[in-house]
Amino acid sequence: MIGRKRSGYCDRPETEIQKKRANVLIKNLHSRHFEACYCADKAEALKKALEWIPAGSSVGWGGAMSAQQIGLLDTVRTGDYRALDRERAATPEERKAIMKQCLGADVFITGANALSMDGQMVNIDGNGNRVAAIVYGPESVIVIAGMNKVMDSLDAAVERARTVAAPQNKQRFDSKTPCEVTGVCADCKSDGCICNQILITRNCNPPGRIKFILVGEDLGL
């Protein structure tokens, strides 16, 4: 009969789809030696992230809007951790020094501009400090990513990073790049370009150093 629910039918099918997609992605991330888990919401994601940050750890971050949205950065700032927070710097020189300290942190927190279903992560950076820390330095890297960041292919993930995440992120600055003015990527070489470094992280070495928390809510840009 039209309109009748099947036995066990979910009232929120999009949630079930997210879980199923997350399970596939987690399997593929594990095959690439990443740690990964799925959390249904921001509260669950925060709890899981804190399990991965030992008390007393030095903790840095960069481009971590998703981590801010789940409450992780505020918890680190007020908890039993040594927060390497560049926003608390009194001078440009101190800010730069803190960014360098993040490269030697016990834990580095970041978001992802995009992920592909086969388990690869794409990030774009202007200064390079965030992608540098993902590649090398911190003992552990925790990536907070909403399922809205997950694309079906690597090409689609790169396109999302370039044409969706970067133009939206650029609205927070004032340097009049083409995407800041029009909202559309122009593949520019402007002085204020934030697409200077494009990092594809396809494998994790040493195994388990990079840890993903996939969240069943839209997070970040």
With a cut of 80, say whether residue 166 has pLDDT above it: yes
Kindly list the distances between the CA atom of residue 83 and the CA atoms of 22, 74, 76, 127, 140, in Å, as whole numbers in the listed order.
Answer: 30, 10, 6, 21, 15
What percent of the chain lies above the pLDDT cut of 70?
Answer: 93
Among residues 110, 130, 195, the alpha carbon closest in space to that of 158 is found at: 195
The residues pairing with 62 across neighbouring beta strands, listed in sequence order, are 110
With a cut of 80, say whether residue 12 has pLDDT above it: no
With a cut of 60, say whether residue 115 has pLDDT above it: yes
The residues pairing with 83 across neighbouring beta strands, listed in sequence order, are 59
Please state, in angstroms and rounded to a whole number, the distance separating the CA atoms of residues 163 and 183. 9
The residue ranges of every structural domain in the chain are: 15-215
Kindly list the distances between the CA atom of residue 50 and the CA atoms of 8, 62, 75, in Å, as whole numbers in the listed order.
Answer: 34, 17, 9
Length in residues, the chain: 221
pLDDT by residue (tens digit) across 60-103? 999 799 999 999 999 999 999 999 999 999 999 999 999 999 99
- Mapping DSSP to helix (H, G, I), strand (E, B) and coil, where does residue 77 land? helix
15-215 CATH fold: Rossmann fold (3.40.50)
With a cut of 50, say whether residue 2 has pLDDT above it: no
